[in-house]
Copies of this chain bind each other. A is one copy, B any other.
Amino acid sequence: MSETESSSSRLTVDLGAVQRNYRRVAAELGRGVECAAVVKADAYGLGAPYVATALAQIGARSFFVAQVEEGTALRPLLPDAQIFVLNGLQAGLESECERHRLTPVLNSLGEIELWTAHSRRLGHSLPAAVHLDTGMNRLGLPGYEVATLAAEPERLQGLAPLLLVSHLACADLTDHEANSRQLQLFRSCRRQLPNMPASFANSSGVFLGPDYHFDMVRPGASLYGVNPLPNDLNPMVQVVQLEAKILQVRDVDRGTTVGYGATHRIENAGVRLATIAIGYAEGYLRSACGRGFAFLGDHRVNVVGRVSMDLITIDVTGIPENEAHPGAWVELIGPHLDVDTVAERAGTIGYEILTSLGGHHRRRYLEPS
């Protein structure tokens, strides 16, 4: 970095690490099971164009986004991929979906009707996924609509190729009874419907074993380094590094307080604080107040006082001045401190840490080596 680099925080995304994680997930799969990639929400804040291209380069052929506009934005980069739209088909968007060859994940009989009607108007078949709800109560055909579809399979006429999907609610809780209950329900629904390939597992679902794999799995978080096995060693490598510069270092008096609300009181003499250029406006969640930590070189440093909009204060007592000085970079996420740990300290999950960063930082990409 040159001395005149004016940005005082930076987010580095290691595209090679994303590729390694994709291969690691794929290694769990039997022959013939496809590994798709979830790149919604701008690839969890890391830049969907970059991530999707890096994955297509190593053979990923199917991608999932949430919204139509995300799919249309990716199409020029992924001319041959199948792009699924998880949030389904809204009335009025049929032509846009078809024009960009997007595959809507149809979440209701109403959406199935919209898409088959469009197929009839065009006079040719259209690709689709059909989403059955097996326990999220969020999106997907509820049981009473699955029954209707089983009784009237002609409702799917004009849709090809087809994929049957459902989504796990508790896959990260390996022993949760909901997993096998959802699996049973998915199998039973599948038997009632016309034969079609199926997709069930998200990142954590992949590690529940081959029963959950069906024909395609859909990892997202694990590709970005989030641990799919929260109670076990993380099989993924870290993808993201978040750093911010020290703006100022100060010796503070015993008995004084730090930051808004005067919530942190200095109890000892000889304390030295550094203020770094990142805050909740750059996605460092305010809920990390009083619990977060960071690294200055190899020194672990605590976040003290409230997180401000664009500033955080860390305790650098005892760290040599040639390390704790204005301009030095502090690691908020990186080799010493993974995204799951940061999330735990902020009372949330790694997913929210990643999506909070998106858009607020000038991202640097490390190319696959």
Contact = CB atoms under 8 A, between A and B. Distances in A.
A137 B256 contact: yes
B247 A88 contact: yes
B259 A169 contact: yes
B87 A277 contact: yes
Greatest chain B CB density within 10 A among A108, A256, A309, A355 is at A309
B136 A277 contact: no
Nearest to A351: B309
Contact of A311 (B6, B87, B247): B87
Contact of A90 (B143, B258, B287, B326): B326
B96 A41 contact: no
Interface in A240-279: 245, 247-248, 250-253, 256-262, 266, 273, 275, 277
A78 interface: no
A91 interface: yes
Interface in A5-49: 5-8, 40-42, 44-45
Nearest to A131: B248
A200 B45 CA distance: 37
A326 B169 CA distance: 23
A150 interface: no
A139 B144 CA distance: 60
Interface residues of A, number: 82
A319 interface: no
A280 interface: yes
A56 interface: no
A175 B270 CA distance: 30
B311 A139 contact: yes
17 contacts: A2-B92, A3-B91, A3-B92, A6-B90, A7-B67, A8-B90, A44-B281, A87-B311, A90-B247, A108-B326, A136-B259, A137-B259, A137-B273, A139-B248, A142-B252, A178-B257, A280-B355
A203 interface: no
For the complex of A and B, the 3 pairs showing the least CB-CB separation, nearest first, are A41-B281, A359-B359, A3-B92
Given A107-B248, A262-B176, A347-B287, A8 B352 contact: no
B313 A138 contact: yes
A96 B6 contact: yes
A158 interface: no
A348 interface: yes
A96 B4 contact: yes
A93 interface: yes
A307 to B, nearest CB: 9
Contacts of A266: 137
